[in-house]
A and B are shown apart, each in its own frame.
Chain A
Amino acid sequence: QQPVQSPQAVILREGEDAVINCSSSKALYSVHWYRQKHGEAPVFLMILLKGGEQKGHEKISASFNEKKQQSSLYLTASQLSYSGTYFCGTESTRGATNKLIFGTGTLLAVQP
């Protein structure tokens, strides 16, 4: 079953902050975050493993609450380049492949 992302879409001004949430009905081993620009392939942002880990990548960070089966992506002081669709991908167990089940995406538009 696909994880649920919220919000579905968000519009920001440059410099504003945003939070994107990803919630699963199943226990999770890991959560991956990707960003996709229009007409391009998804690009990896970060991976969070079981253990409540929080990671950061410049002004983008994420948290993983395994008990609540949720992850959140935090975008701080957004830039125009942050625009795109953000997907979370989840793994329920660590297997021989790390096949991800993706959410339906959150469209982020950053305006000048």
Chain B
Amino acid sequence: IAGITQAPTSQILAAGRRMTLRCTQDMRHNAMYWYRQDLGLGLRLIHYSNTAGTTGKGEVPDGYSVSRANTDDFPLTLASAVPSQTSVYFCASSDSSRDRIIHFGNGTRLTVT
């Protein structure tokens, strides 16, 4: 089934540890995104990429980094996790030259203790 796969589904992480959230899409979309969702704050954009090899900062990029080595993969790395990074993380993708619909993965629930 075509779509976006995120891993892990959930994770408990000690503060100060490094963590990479994985995201793979098989729809050949050019654009990919990472959002975090917190109660009362909605979905906030962390980083995005419009094509392989390029990335950009969103609304809340501090403490996160991304890379886009190819079209399909867009990992999100927390270099040194802090409790305020406890959140649900959604990876998403879109074909920005066609229908511009953003498709979301099922999310990763991350708890930093």
Q: A41, B42: Cβ atoms under 8 Å?
A: no
B59 to chain A, nearest CB (A): 7
Q: A30, B107: Cβ atoms under 8 Å?
A: no
Decide if A87 is an interface residue (CB 8 Å cutoff).
yes
Decide if A40 is an interface residue (CB 8 Å cutoff).
yes
Interface size class of B (residues with CB under 8 A): 20 to 34
A20 to chain B, nearest CB (A): 13
At the interface, is chain A mostly helix, strand, loop or mixed? loop
Given contacts A96-B96, A104-B41, A105-B42, contact A42 B90 (CB under 8 A): yes
Q: B100, A2: Cβ atoms under 8 Å?
A: no
Residues on A with beta carbons closer than 8 Å to the beta carbon of B41 = 104
- The one of B33, B51, B90 in contact with A99, judged by C-beta atoms closer than 8 angstroms, is B33
A99 to chain B, nearest CB (A): 5
A74 to chain B, nearest CB (A): 20
Count A interface residues, CB 8 Å.
23
Decide if A97 is an interface residue (CB 8 Å cutoff).
yes
Q: B42, A42: Cβ atoms under 8 Å?
A: no
Q: A98, B42: Cβ atoms under 8 Å?
A: no
Taking Cβ atoms with an 8 Å cutoff, the residues of B that contact A are 30-31, 33, 35, 40-45, 48-51, 56, 58-59, 90, 94, 96, 99-107
**A–B pairs, 14, beta carbons within 8 Å:** A34-B102, A41-B104, A42-B104, A43-B104, A47-B100, A87-B42, A97-B50, A98-B94, A98-B96, A99-B31, A99-B33, A99-B48, A102-B35, A105-B42
Taking Cβ atoms with an 8 Å cutoff, the residues of A that contact B are 2, 30, 32, 34, 40-44, 47, 87, 89, 95-105
